[in-house]
Amino acid sequence: MSDFSARLIRWQRRHGRHKLPWQGADAYRVWLSEIMLQQTQVATATPYYLRFVARFPDVSALAAASEDEVLAHWSGLGYYSRARNLHRAAQIIMRQRGGRFPENFDDILALPGVGRSTAAAIGVFAFQQRRAILDGNVKRVLARYFAVAGYTGEKKIEAQLWRKAEGLLPEQDLAGYTQGLMDLGALVCTRGKPQCAVCPLHEECAAYRNGQVMQLPTPRARKALPEKHSTFLLLLNGADILLEKRPATGIWGGLWCLPQMDGAPGKDHCGIRQYGVDAAQAHALPAFTHTFTHFRLHITPLLWRLPVKPGQSQEPAKVWLCVEEAMRAAIPSPVRKLLHQITV
């Protein structure tokens, strides 16, 4: 066992995380946790994980559920393609494997939404396989330890880090080693305030020796985020509100949203009038901005309290729900925020 892995394993035993709800669990729960932890921190993902497994305790329960119900339990966690891929993968596992989660690495990798690092983590934690992982935290640890310059999302740099990760693998205690890498990146070798003094690897860390800790890993070249504008329509009839189902692909794919018009109010009166309402009669709620990975969406909400439900809204992919029920549906965060505003 290398000094790197030995130090990391000892550190993890003393200082790492040992009470995460998916640790020591079956392959289904390990898979679920790894998917949830893509793009999401442990503290944020944990309550969603607990609610998700309470409703979908195994692959068969997840596969049998409707996509709407799966998305409803994911609502607020973001990156909804993860939930749709989980649902599709569960159905594949039931249909092709009789509900038995695959153990072979290539078979795990073939599941929708599973990449190389995620498949390796599932293999390590669920099946005690000897596989290297390379998530965002691990990239940061290795880029600093070996002083690897360059953006870690670039293929050439990523390939270099994969070689480093595979070369460091110990022969034993792969789970402790892998969890140690994750924990070190999340708790000590953090992006903004790394705690090098308590890091078990700092004596050999090239970035620490060279005074490059805050320069590595090399950040991605920043580009100005595109700015987009949208008008959200809150059509209320008594306690009921109109929701529309988004297309399966794209932003908020498959979720229930408020009717939405591109642009600021006043630029699409015809679009608003298709719902049988007049923009001039709307009550404007405070505008706000929702930031996605690739753009910022400036949202202007308009509210109508209607004596009757417009006939134009009685169509497929549209539904009237009481606001309380809508809050439990598969809705994106900005819609939840607006519904909360009109109920307080």
Which amino acids are annotated catalytic? 34
- Other Cβ atoms less than 10 A from the Cβ of 199: the count is 22
- Distances from the Cα of 200 to the Cαs of 142, 197, 239, in angstroms? 13, 8, 58
* CA proximity to 235, closest of 224, 244, 227, 226: 244
- Other Cβ atoms less than 10 A from the Cβ of 339: the count is 21
Which residue's entry shows tokens 């009109």?
342
CA dist 96 and 89 (Å) reads 10
Burial of 174-189, coded b for 16+ CB within 10 Å and e otherwise, reads bbbbbbbbbbbbbbbb
CA dist 181 and 262 (Å) reads 44
